[in-house]
Structure 1
Amino acid sequence: MQSATQDFLAELDHFEGRGVTSVKKVAVLPGDGIGPEVVDAVLPVLDLLQVPVELTYGDIGWGYWRREGAPVPERTWALLDTVDTCLLATITSKSPREAEAELVGSLQGQGIRYVSPVIQLRQRLGLFANVRPVENLQGHGRPYRFAVIRENTEGMYAGFDYAGDAVPAALRSVVGGHANVVADARQDLGVSLRLVTRLGLERLLRFSFAYARSHGHSLLTWADKPNILRSSSTLAREVLEEVAIEYPSIAVEVQDADAVAMWMVKRPERFGVIVAESMFGDVLSDLGAGVMGGLGLAPSGNYGQHGSYFEPVHGSVPHLAGSDRANPSAMLLTVGMMLEHLGFGDAALEIPKAVRSVLSRGESLTYDLGGGAGTKQSADALLAACGPGSVQQPTAAVLTVGDELLSGAVEDTNTTQAARLLTGHGFHVRATATTGDPLSDINRTVRGLLGHDLLVVIGGLGPTSDDRTREGVAQALGVPLEHHAEAWTAVQHRLKRFGLAVHQDNERQAFFPAGSEPLPNSNGTAWGSSTTADGTRVVMLPGPPHECMPMLQELLDRIAPASKPAEHPHWRTLGLIEADAAALVDQAVQAEGLMLTPSYLWAYPYVDIALPVAVGEHPGLEARVDRLLNGHVVSRRRLTAAEELRVHPGKPVISLDDRLTGGLAAERLPSAADAGIAVQVWSDEPLTVTDGQAWVGTVTMHCEVRINDLTHTYALTAPKRGPEVVDMAADFVAWSVLRACAGEGDAHAGR
């Protein structure tokens, strides 16, 4: 390839951030399976980020093997010689027997041997290093960011794998003394060799140290089995120690590969760069994908002496091809790796930021992440998040602490109030939780909620032995508790002011996680604190609502002043169930060709519908929804029918409280005489039930509203689901008066 990576030193220069940013040429190989659709879905990001990249599409994959007997045709190799790098989507590989059977008839029996295109690319381009970044993209738990770098050309995958008669005599003599071989009268065996060379180790380790330094990692872990593979591991360790001297700022450790696997799951944040030979690296890199949420989030890059290529690692998944279900995230992240390699570092950083934003909000997720979005919908959300001027809404979580909350002995009002305050200050509240007082429970729950921009922890800051929140938060953040003299002085002063004794245990309230900003409490003794770690601000507050809520309000006013919330199109409907409303509105969204998810809230007797866009942004959609919901909309401003009637200029407030109990008969309701309004309401059967009857079926209510000499008639059929149907009747009458005042509904001359 004609690129700055034609020699190894130039490759390292890219990782040191010295790559040039002129127009770059990229070969795009969509492959087969889900490859073409994920490529098409994400490549518009190059225009969004305005990077000077020239794309040329090439041929690779199973279809070319079947038709031409070459999964990588010669024209593709010629293309690769003219570009700076290659973006490979996905390719299908099958066993030699299946590959032979699927060749076109004229090619069968010609002795053509199938070799995976991936292996061909790595061998022909000398790609010895496979890089698999692993990052907490979903925002659940403590942030982590590390990479697994796997050697591609030797180790257990060097190709020395034999079985049966193919085992060389020299190898048979080496293994012939093994107890199992001696005991096996058939002498039927297989042998694989692990190849480790100084050349392979040196170039891999120098590459890995350069990667660690340029990506801000301070630890390099060599994952091996030195206690079992003693001789080859000793050589690897010797080379590691020699190369490490050239990188004194990076700590080095040698760990058993199985121990690394365990700690990747338990404490992924402890790692920086994990380096391993081919087989161990293969296992650990896929485990890393599992840690971060699955192969649908896993990008990769392959680097070497004569070029590079970048691919998502989820494979071609043929059974999903064309079904619009594939996760485009891995392909998009792979494009980000490619842009970084080409020298477009600033643009490359926008991509993982966008993925984190979309995933942390839990919207537009594909099936593998628990969502229902299709490939295009998910990709559109990702692209919108990394476009110019995109604003990422900060996320928040609320944790309340106390056994009394779990048992129900004390009502937890703090969660609702805190969530309301956070929402009013522009935060998207993604999670709420309650935990008991045990230290381990607090520690575990706090760790699970880290990753949001703000985590509010309420309760358990008192002076007694069961108040363990401060210890639990400190442990979760991995920092010690520190004494704060000003807070201790304030605690003593408040206690003395009320004539209370100052006990030694009271001093517990002056300890906060190291690096915290103490938060004064003007309404109580226990102060709170604000601690920022790994991108999450963790705020601890005392439990009493009259103490914690003013403290939270004061903090939010300082760090995130409330702004007028964006107005979204909203409809409050009566006489629709949630499923019927969703069917109508979803139909409108699809008809407008938009990729957005309306929200539906069933708050009897209403269904509230909102669109996640600004008012007036899509007038055609709003008009379409208005038409579809015609006859059911009570309010566009989140008011009940009674509230709308109350604020309607010059219209009477009609009391219904005593008129709709015990059944709905034909009755005249009180009205303001000067308004000239009279109301008559009845139903086809009583709204209540007597002993032995059940709340079943439906009931139809009728309302006549007479304004001067004109009578308007309305009807509403509702499920007879319980006593609350009376509330629906009351709202129906108020709504009927509203519509009559507006001149809506069937009207005829008075009797």
Structure 2
Amino acid sequence: MSEKRKITVAHGDGIGPEIMKATLTILEAAGAAIEPEVIEIGEQVYHRGVSSGIEPSSWDSLRSTQVFLKAPITTPQGGGFKSLNVTTRKTLGLYANVRPCRSYSPFVATRHDTIDMVIVRENEEDLYAGIEHQQTEEVVQCLKLVSRPGCEKIVRYAFEYAEAYNRKKVTCFTKDNIMKLTDGLFHRVFDEIGEEYPDIEKEHMIIDIGSAILADKPETLDVVVTLNLYGDIISDIAAQIAGSVGLGGSANIGESCAMFEAIHGSAPTIAGKDVANPSGLINAAIMMLVHIGQPEVATHINNAWLYTLESGVHTADIYRIGSSKSLVGTQAFAEEIVKNLGKTPKRLQPAEYHAVQGKKLHYSTPPDPNRQKDLVGVDVFIDWNESNRNPKVIGDGLAAISGDDFTLRVITNRGVKVYPDGLPETFCTDHWRCRFVAEEGKTVSHQQIIGLLNRLDENNFDFIKTEQLYNINGQRAYSLAQGQ
């Protein structure tokens, strides 16, 4: 037997301990060369006053083993508790969330019999940075952060995955018709990196129509790569239309560490009843085995699981009168899989895993040392709730104190131009973006911006945020207002 690989294991909350027990039983019976190192995470840790849900000492195990098999946890409502999943992904740099999604018709009910796609979701950035502020009585904001290195790593991972597993097409989902800078960057990077893979078909879809295609014609999709929020949503949709969210496992891959988990939650209402389907965590463990270099064991377990589905031995979530043969609980389902080790499905496509080493994973383009960055203005956000919120009143007042360095170019309210020449029908809140720009062809300094802010303060304008406006390499690096 090969030397055992240490892995970190967390039994989690709710149904977590039950499905982890079932999964570890199967791994042991199949001869997986692993040595679990157990840590405690989740609800009990939260209640000890640890807002992240994980003790500092547990990070030592994760950084040592670099492999985490995690059962679902329960995050207490309210009280400032942070999502452990998000914390783990970002702390360990797990930039790629990989969710295979297949239909198992006719053994698991589905509206689409031929789904076989993989969703590759960016895992660290986007709105999941969780940077939010309340700026006025009426308006809150959430920052959407997208970086070129983040885009490059996830897009390259998707193409490397497609190449390694003989996938034919990679589809990119964005909303860059609206978010031209953030989602636009993701789309541009997809096009650039796609040129390195001439044998793989490439396509791009706006997320709305892409989601519609996913729900209506999922068989036309192969590998889908997208940003964090969109990926979170569509991966659950894909799992559900394939048959059940309860069957799905996921991998969270970083440059050194990886985490494997079921995609469903802790389901506390059925905890302790021995009715939960352990398949999601089993499939996550199969992905883990491939990752740590034990593809033969992964193949062994996956085929036994498929054979069990074919045999009609089902847990309650997928059991159907007239087609299923036996209704079993969590542990009995695991025991059936153990009994079927060595068997191969007859109608479902058998699994066959092999060792994979991506050629270009984790690579991103170094920064351009010759980049030209010119400061050409500033957006000043103001909390103003006077004079019946008449844009002309605030606009004329600001224009009068702009000074010689700036021109008040436009004021927007919730992104829509309201000054000058706004429409009276536009509803205005107490949150105003006021764009001050330098004379065409000129730049401004930070000191000039500070001078502008001093004048605003002297005239009792409550500025709540600023955003500098730059031209980068001669190109405008900020969005225009709606209506500008």
TM-score range, shorter chain: 0.5 to 0.7
Whether the aligned pair in 2 keeps the contact of 1:326 and 1:374 (CA below 8 Å) is: yes
Whether the aligned pair in 1 keeps the contact of 2:251 and 2:259 (CA below 8 Å) is: yes
Tell me what 1:131 maps to. Answer: 98
Whether the aligned pair in 1 keeps the contact of 2:20 and 2:281 (CA below 8 Å) is: yes
Q: How does 1:662-701 map to 2 (within 5 A)?
A: none
User: Aligned partners of 2:213, 2:272: CA distance in 1, in Å?
Assistant: 38
Q: Flag the 1:351–1:266 CA change in 2: closer, same or farther, 3 A.
A: farther
User: Aligned partners of 1:369, 1:288: CA distance in 2, in Å?
Assistant: 20
Amino acid of the structure 2 residue aligned with 1:83: T
CA deviation after TM superposition for structure 1 residue 354, in Å? 2.7
Q: Secondary structure at the match of 2:252?
A: strand
Alignment pair present for 1:42 and 2:23: yes
User: Aligned partners of 1:380, 1:121: CA distance in 2, in Å?
Assistant: 32
CA deviation after TM superposition for structure 1 residue 283, in Å? 0.7
Q: How does 1:227-306 map to 2 (within 5 A)?
A: 227-306=177-256
Whether the aligned pair in 2 keeps the contact of 1:138 and 1:356 (CA below 8 Å) is: no
Q: Secondary structure at the match of 1:233?
A: helix
Amino acid of the structure 1 residue aligned with 2:66: D
Q: Flag the 1:123–1:205 CA change in 2: closer, same or farther, 3 A.
A: same
Tell me what 1:209 maps to. Answer: 159
- Single out whichever of 117-126 and 354-363 deviates more from structure 2: 354-363
- Single out whichever of 343-352 and 273-282 deviates more from structure 2: 343-352
- Please, which of 372, 383, 395 is the counterpart of residue 338 of structure 2? 383
Tell me what 1:80 maps to. Answer: 62
Amino acid of the structure 2 residue aligned with 1:161: E
User: Aligned partners of 2:292, 2:40: CA distance in 1, in Å?
Assistant: 22
Alignment pair present for 1:65 and 2:29: no
Whether the aligned pair in 2 keeps the contact of 1:29 and 1:59 (CA below 8 Å) is: yes
User: Aligned partners of 2:208, 2:165: CA distance in 1, in Å?
Assistant: 25
CA deviation after TM superposition for structure 1 residue 137, in Å? 2.6
User: Aligned partners of 1:238, 1:307: CA distance in 2, in Å?
Assistant: 28
Q: How does 1:160-175 map to 2 (within 5 A)?
A: 160-165=131-136
Residues 643-682 of structure 1 show CA distances to partners (whole Å, capped at 9, x for unaligned) of xxxxxxxxxxxxxxxxxxxxxxxxxxxxxxxxxxxxxxxx
Q: Secondary structure at the match of 2:141?
A: strand
CA deviation after TM superposition for structure 1 residue 228, in Å? 2.2
CA deviation after TM superposition for structure 1 residue 360, in Å? 3.3
TM-score, normalising length: structure 2: 0.66
Q: Secondary structure at the match of 2:65?
A: coil
Tell me what 1:698 maps to. Answer: none
Amino acid of the structure 1 residue aligned with 2:74: T
Amino acid of the structure 1 residue aligned with 2:101: V
Tell me what 1:435 maps to. Answer: none
Q: Flag the 1:138–1:379 CA change in 2: closer, same or farther, 3 A.
A: farther
Tell me what 2:169 maps to. Answer: 219
Tell me what 1:55 maps to. Answer: 36
Q: What is the aligned-residue identity percentage?
A: 30
Residues 66-118 of structure 1 show CA distances to partners (whole Å, capped at 9, x for unaligned) of 13535211221121122130100011113333xxxxxxxxxxxxxxx532221
Tell me what 1:32 maps to. Answer: 13
CA deviation after TM superposition for structure 1 residue 391, in Å? 5.2
Q: How does 1:435-474 map to 2 (within 5 A)?
A: none
User: Aligned partners of 1:368, 1:94: CA distance in 2, in Å?
Assistant: 29
CA deviation after TM superposition for structure 1 residue 241, in Å? 1.6
CA deviation after TM superposition for structure 1 residue 247, in Å? 1.7
Residues 263-316 of structure 1 show CA distances to partners (whole Å, capped at 9, x for unaligned) of 222222221111111111111111011122122101011111341110101111
Tell me what 1:619 maps to. Answer: none
User: Aligned partners of 2:164, 2:70: CA distance in 1, in Å?
Assistant: 25
Q: Secondary structure at the match of 1:37?
A: helix
Whether the aligned pair in 1 keeps the contact of 2:252 and 2:259 (CA below 8 Å) is: yes
Whether the aligned pair in 1 keeps the contact of 2:128 and 2:228 (CA below 8 Å) is: yes
Q: Flag the 1:259–1:54 CA change in 2: closer, same or farther, 3 A.
A: same
Amino acid of the structure 1 residue aligned with 2:48: R
Q: Flag the 1:259–1:382 CA change in 2: closer, same or farther, 3 A.
A: farther
Whether the aligned pair in 2 keeps the contact of 1:149 and 1:281 (CA below 8 Å) is: yes
- Please, which of 65, 71, 77 is the counterpart of residue 89 of structure 1? 71
CA deviation after TM superposition for structure 1 residue 121, in Å? 0.8
Alignment pair present for 1:146 and 2:146: no
User: Aligned partners of 1:127, 1:61: CA distance in 2, in Å?
Assistant: 19
How many residues are treated as equivalent by the alignment? 339
User: Aligned partners of 2:258, 2:288: CA distance in 1, in Å?
Assistant: 9
Q: What RMSD over aligned residues (CA atoms) do the two structures have, in Å?
A: 2.2
Amino acid of the structure 2 residue aligned with 1:360: E
CA deviation after TM superposition for structure 1 residue 357, in Å? 2.4
Residues 130-161 of structure 1 show CA distances to partners (whole Å, capped at 9, x for unaligned) of 11110123446543321111111111222233
User: Aligned partners of 2:332, 2:60: CA distance in 1, in Å?
Assistant: 36
Q: Secondary structure at the match of 1:285?
A: helix
Q: How does 1:376-525 map to 2 (within 5 A)?
A: 376-385=331-340, 387-388=341-342, 390=343, 392=345, 394=346
Tell me what 1:121 maps to. Answer: 88
Residues 39-64 of structure 1 show CA distances to partners (whole Å, capped at 9, x for unaligned) of 11121222332221111111111112
- Structure ranking higher in helix proportion: 1
Whether the aligned pair in 1 keeps the contact of 2:46 and 2:76 (CA below 8 Å) is: no
Whether the aligned pair in 2 keeps the contact of 1:289 and 1:295 (CA below 8 Å) is: yes
CA deviation after TM superposition for structure 1 residue 164, in Å? 4.8
TM-score, normalising length: structure 1: 0.43
User: Aligned partners of 2:344, 2:229: CA distance in 1, in Å?
Assistant: 42
User: Aligned partners of 2:75, 2:119: CA distance in 1, in Å?
Assistant: 24
Whether the aligned pair in 2 keeps the contact of 1:134 and 1:288 (CA below 8 Å) is: yes
CA deviation after TM superposition for structure 1 residue 368, in Å? 4.7
User: Which structure ranks higher in relative contact order (CA pairs < 8 Å, sequence separation ≥ 6)?
Assistant: 2
Q: Secondary structure at the match of 1:339?
A: helix
CA deviation after TM superposition for structure 1 residue 452, in Å? 9.1
Tell me what 1:317 maps to. Answer: 267
Tell me what 1:159 maps to. Answer: 130
Q: Secondary structure at the match of 1:87?
A: strand
Q: Secondary structure at the match of 1:157?
A: helix
Amino acid of the structure 1 residue aligned with 2:220: R
CA deviation after TM superposition for structure 1 residue 22, in Å? 5.1
Q: Flag the 1:255–1:22 CA change in 2: closer, same or farther, 3 A.
A: farther
Q: Secondary structure at the match of 1:148?
A: strand
User: Aligned partners of 1:452, 1:207: CA distance in 2, in Å?
Assistant: 25
Q: Flag the 1:281–1:193 CA change in 2: closer, same or farther, 3 A.
A: same
User: Aligned partners of 1:63, 1:210: CA distance in 2, in Å?
Assistant: 39
Structure 1 stretches of 4+ with a deviation exceeding 6 A read none
Whether the aligned pair in 2 keeps the contact of 1:35 and 1:90 (CA below 8 Å) is: yes
Amino acid of the structure 2 residue aligned with 1:215: Y
Unmatched segments (≥5 aa) in structure 2: 351-484
